[in-house]
Amino acid sequence: MCRATTIPMTLLLILALALPPWPCALASDGKPLIVPIIKDESTSLYTIPLKDGHRPLVLDLAGPLVWSTCESTHPTFDLYQRECMEARRHTSPKCWMYSGHAMPESFGSNKCVAHPNNPVSGRCAAGELTSTQLSANATDGKAPLYSVSFSAIASCAPDSLLAMLPAGAAGVAGLSRSELALPAQVALTQKVAKKFLLCLSGSEGVAIFGGGAIASAWRPCVGLGNLAPEPTIPLQRNFGISEGHFIKAKGISVNGEPMLLNVSEFVIELSTTTPYTALRPDLYGSFVQAYDRATAAYPRIMPPVPPFDICYDKRKMYSTRVGYPMPEFKLALEGGSNWTMFSTNLLVELDAQTACLAFVEMKQKTAGGPAPGMVMGGHQMEGNPLVFDLERGMLGWGGQLMWLRTSCENFNSIGSNGRIFGFGNKKSNCMPKMRRPGADRSKCGRVHPYVTVHFEYPGCDDGSLSSLLPPGVREEDLSPAQRYALAKIDVDAHPVLQLGITVSGSGGRLPVLPGPWGPAETVWQVGFHDDDAGQGVSLRAFAAALFGFGVVAAVNLGRVTWVAFGGLYHFGFLLKILSFGRPLPDTKEEFLVMLAAYLGRTVFDARYIATKLPICSDTSSDLTAMAELLDAPAVEGAGGLWQAGEKSLAACQVFVRTKGLFFAWHGVGMHAGRIHGLH
């Protein structure tokens, strides 16, 4: 639940910078651990925020170790300890020297040296085996319960080994069957099953280590039970020299037609470090020909965009809630199961015009010898819950969640308990302290790039114009120009009382900060006063802070996404603050230009979007009703009433869940800049 407290105005600096989670240590009681999975846009790699609570580790299904950069002083292991022997047993052949022994760095020392490998660059290095602290949330499958800190064995690595990994990543979390991979270490320290679930997403997904159920309650009107699939697909062991996870396939069909293959079966490697599925050349040629025939009537982009061989003009294709009507791709797996892919996993959208078949030909240098027939890439696994039962050697595949009107973004990997931080309840004297020399303002929104605002002002704050209309006149009868003119009168005339600010990741992940009751998710609430009287924060000082700390800055246009529920009023008051109290522009066209100039094009009105949804009842105009319909986590205000902070959090949750439920395929970008009442 969220409760109010008073903190210094200096926390506005934290709003403008990347905010790290804050771990706390609790003893293990046999609960599985849940962590969010964040997809890095620039590298298409998946990371989890385990290391030091905020420096992420890259997920590698084939990785035998956990490795990261280390401090200059760190604990070490002796050369002949059991942990060292296990680490050395998984040394990559690239690091073998002197008859398979350690690299020269370890000669003359009794310290254990491991050899971590970068799964993207292929480089390896020597690093001392050490122990490090990791943290995650315990879960009952429905929601996070509390934070858990645990010790794990890891290899140190030089900074140079981080090349080609996401910016800010500390290293790699291996997920193989090795006893030093993350699943085995979580199982040992937490006394849980050696089992893990991955639900990858194009933005934020979820991972659960230790088994158990997982539920999503983000589908309107219909509750969902356990979505963790039962493992029924045999996992193959030790294929070639890789330590990854493999399954066998007996055949491929496109649009229900079996492909003619020159092999009776082939092996598929599952990879979180390969962005798109790669097929061995002998399989790739047959597949491309089959899919080309099945989509002969589809409009093409010529020439196709490398590295893809078939691209479509999506402007000339119609779409559904679950994507474009593409021919299905089916893998017949060992054990009798089928892995079926539809357009969500088959296509990758490159721009407003182009969507390509997201399969590539396996590079020749890895295609010979023990190369698998297919390396299943991350894009093809997104939206499909996967359970790896390492004790039984089985894989569970749950199918595309979009058919259930949910997604991997909709699992609660962070929790709903938090607090509202309020400031400005008395006249602030800390404003001169707010500037930090050398602060990196370009970091704004790097971790939490969504900013949801909600203003409270004298009168009704629900964005309704009905109180301004004469008897007999309905709001829906007004033209957009008339609606704007009335809203302008209201915004220009009324002072701002409170502002609620919720910053989050694209999946709704909130920043975690320390406080009087321990670490908790945090939302901000600001009380304002005019420059000459009252208690609270000066509008001018607050506007200067927003500009000064880069929350509103040209460098962040397009990087920060702004959200409100009822954007005409709430964005109107925000522009009033940013323009230092000036009246709003005279026309709605000028207002929209000003909005884009200050906040960019990634501005969303969740109330406008709600009116476009096939929801169960007509609740789109009411924030409380929409939050209840979408089953937003409970938010407790002072005296049981929602204030600006709670309302900004509810608006954030409504937008995130709407985006995940109804716009998982196309994205919600089609509604950017559309304001309820003006469009």
- Mapped onto helix, strand or coil, the DSSP state of residue 354 is strand
Element (H, E) at 247: strand 245-254
What is the pLDDT at residue 104?
47
Q: What percent of the chain has pLDDT over 70?
A: 74
Q: Does residue 243 surpass a pLDDT of 70?
A: yes
What is the pLDDT at residue 442?
39
What is the pLDDT at residue 468?
55
Please give the average per-residue pLDDT across 631-639, as a whole number: 56
Of 434, 440, 674, 435, give the one whose Cα is nearest residue 556.
440
Q: Is residue 44 a contact partner of residue 467, using CB atoms and an 8 Å limit?
A: no
Q: What is the pLDDT of residues 122-147, one digit of tens each?
A: 898 989 999 999 988 898 887 788 88
Please give the average per-residue pLDDT across 654-678, as a whole number: 81
Burial 303-317 (b: 16+ CB within 10 A, else e): eeeeebbbbbebeeb
pLDDT band at 40 (very low <50, low <70, confident <90, very high): very high
What is the pLDDT at residue 251?
93
Please give the average per-residue pLDDT across 577-584, as a whole number: 87
Of the segments 96-110, 234-248, 340-354, 400-414, which one has the largest average pLDDT value? 340-354
Burial of 72: CB neighbours in 10 Å, binned 0-12, 13-18, 19+? exposed
Q: Does residue 664 surpass a pLDDT of 80?
A: no
Residue 209 β-bridge partners: 33, 196
What is the pLDDT at residue 96?
62
In CATH, the number for domain 233-405 is 2.40.70.10
Q: What is the pLDDT of residues 63-89, one digit of tens each?
A: 999 999 998 889 899 888 888 988 888
Q: Does residue 270 surpass a pLDDT of 90?
A: yes
Please give the average per-residue pLDDT across 266-295, as a whole number: 95
Q: Which CATH architecture has domain 33-192?
A: Beta Barrel (2.40)
Please give the average per-residue pLDDT across 176-196, as a whole number: 94
What is the pLDDT at residue 13?
42
- As a whole number of Å, the CA-based R_g of the chain is 27
* Range of lowest pLDDT (423-427, 571-575, 604-608, 643-647): 423-427
Q: Does residue 10 surpass a pLDDT of 80?
A: no
What is the pLDDT at residue 545?
75
Burial of 343: CB neighbours in 10 Å, binned 0-12, 13-18, 19+? buried
Please give the average per-residue pLDDT across 475-491, as a whole number: 82
Q: Does residue 391 surpass a pLDDT of 90?
A: yes
> Residue 303: is the preceding peptide bond cis (ω within 30°)?
yes
What is the pLDDT at residue 15?
43
What is the pLDDT at residue 549?
63
Measured CA to CA, the distance from residue 563 to residue 567 in angstroms comes to 8
Among positive and negative, which fits the CA dihedral 142, 144, 145, 149?
A: positive
What residue ranges of the chain are covered by domains with CATH 3.30.420.10? 418-671
What residue ranges of the chain are covered by domains with CATH 2.40.70.10? 33-192, 233-405
Please give the average per-residue pLDDT across 476-502, as a whole number: 84
What is the pLDDT at residue 220?
42
Q: Does residue 497 surpass a pLDDT of 50?
A: yes
Measured CA to CA, the distance from residue 190 to residue 125 in angstroms comes to 30
The phi, psi pair for 323, rounded to 5°, reads 105, -165
What is the pLDDT at residue 79?
84
Measured CA to CA, the distance from residue 501 to residue 15 in angstroms comes to 9
What is the pLDDT at residue 266?
92
pLDDT averaged over the chain? 78
What is the pLDDT at residue 625?
82
For 442-466, the DSSP string reads GGTTSS--EEEEEEE-SS--SS--G
What is the pLDDT at residue 211?
87
* Range of lowest pLDDT (21-35, 173-187, 199-213): 21-35
CATH 3.30.420.10 fits 418-671, yes or no: yes
Q: What is the pLDDT of residues 346-389, one digit of tens each?
A: 999 999 899 999 999 998 754 445 689 999 999 999 999 999 99
Among positive and negative, which fits the CA dihedral 615, 621, 626, 628?
A: negative
pTM value?
0.68
What is the pLDDT at residue 412?
62
What does the block give as tokens for 481?
């120009």
